[in-house]
Amino acid sequence: MNKPKKFSLIPSEEKALLVAKWLDEKQGGELVIMDVEKVSSVTNMTIVVSARGVKHAKALADYVLDMCAEDNVEFLRMEGQQTGEWILLDLNDVLVHIFLDELRGFYNIEGMWAEAPRVEFQA
């Protein structure tokens, strides 16, 4: 007898768009989705989103984790939840960077992946 799959198997881009929808529902700002599969050995998709403050950043991260559990989407780990200035969510093939507005430009994740194609997201 086959065991049921632990996590839903959805393509990376579809997962990134789903996570972007969740972030948008909670007013995540300046959402950018990058297809880094050809330029990264770590992940397939990277999402960068801005938060208005520490509480907002933590709320965005918590909401994504809650929705992952609800929709059976794989979640590996989270970093930065303590300070809330830069929270990294590792969803295996999708990485989510939640930045405070004032720190996003300093770390410039989009610039680091400038050659990666952007994925259009309609809110």
Rounded Cα gap, residues 110 and 48, in angstroms: 8
pLDDT, residue 3, reads 46
pLDDT, residue 108, reads 93
Per the domain annotation, does 1 fall within a domain? no
Q: How far is CA 8 from CA 4, 55, 85, 90, 113, in A?
A: 10, 30, 30, 16, 28
pLDDT, residue 41, reads 87
Number of domains the chain contains:
1
Neighbours of 80 (CB within 10 A): 17
Q: Which residues, given as ranges, of the chain have pLDDT below 50? A: 1, 3
Rounded Cα gap, residues 43 and 101, in angstroms: 24
Per the domain annotation, does 7 fall within a domain? no
Average pLDDT of the chain, as a whole number: 92
pLDDT, residue 6, reads 63
Q: 96 is in which domain, residue-wise?
A: 12-107+114-118
Rounded Cα gap, residues 60 and 78, in angstroms: 12
123 Cβ contact list (under 8 Å, min separation 6):
24, 31
Per the domain annotation, does 3 fall within a domain? no
Per the domain annotation, does 97 fall within a domain? yes
pTM for this model (two decimals): 0.91
